Amino acid sequence: GAVVSQHPSWVICKSGTSVKIECRSLDFQATTMFWYRQFPKQSLMLMATSNEGSKATYEQGVEKDKFLINHASLTLSTLTVTSAHPEDSSFYICSGTRGTGELFFGEGSRLTVL
Amino acid sequence: AQTVTQSQPEMSVQEAETVTLSCTYDTSENNYYLFWYKQPPSRQMILVIRQEAYKQQNATENRFSVNFQKAAKSFSLKISDSQLGDTAMYFCAFMKSEEDFGNEKLTFGTGTRLTIIP
């Protein structure tokens, strides 16, 4: 299957700082990328959908000014958590699709805000 | 809106035995896809099996098979000859029809934590 890689896997930051998480499709061009948030022992909640070169579409209840998503190329999408607070601590997962109906997931990034 | 329900938060089974994970869903759509994803301790989600709603035949993938009951909106996963490497969180997921390809929004269930006991 196709490979999606996230970086960093773990990040710890101080409250009030911003953190950027990268999601790369390594061997395919991802027409669309999705960002999810997963709380401990819970399901994945879709945060936003991003298409290359256009603004991301955010799910209801997700603050677009706090969670900035950029999809600069067909192989890279970034999620920036701005002015992070402890309640933003979570596991963030991205996935990419090449338009065939199958999603390929990254390894996830654990964010801890102190 | 679609909902996906997994009523078994945790299950455990002896190695080599067969286990069935349940999943029900609710939708008004007629054409859709159903998936089972596996999330091992390493955290990367892996597709286990996929079922197209318009296909009556149940999907199989080696030791993994599904029992898809469209009228009952049920989609269970059977793992035969379970192995230690099957230990993981399993998520059932729903996606609308192929018209949404390129915008594949998945709705996930809450997951079942499966432990294979040596």
Q: Which of A6, A24, A32, A44 to mutate to test the interface with B (most CBs of B within 10 A)?
A: A44
Distance from CA of A28 to the nearest CA of B (A): 14
Per-residue pLDDT of A68-113, as tens digits, reads 999 888 899 999 999 999 999 999 999 998 877 788 999 999 999 9
Nearest to B110 among A1, A42, A49 (CB): A42
CA proximity to B66, closest of B11, B113, B23, B13 = B23
Reduce the DSSP state of residue B38 to 3 states and report it.
strand
Scanning the structure block, which residue is given the tokens 């992070």?
A84
Distance from CA of A83 to the nearest CA of B (A): 26
Alpha-carbon distances, residue B46 vs A14, A53, A60, B26, B86 (angstroms): 32, 28, 27, 24, 12
Contact state of A46 with B105 under an 8 Å Cβ cutoff: yes
Q: Which residue of B has its CA nearest to A106?
A: B44
Neighbours of B51 (CB within 10 A): 20
Residues of A in contact with B102 (CB under 8 A): 31-32, 97, 99
- pLDDT above 70: percentage of residues in chain B: 96
Query: Given this model, what pLDDT does residue B36 score?
Result: 97
Say how far apart CA A8 and CA B33 lie, in whole Å. Answer: 32
- What digits encode the pLDDT tens for the residues B8-35? 999 999 999 999 999 999 999 888 999 9
- Residue of B32, B97, B103 to mutate for A, most A C-beta atoms under 10 A: B103
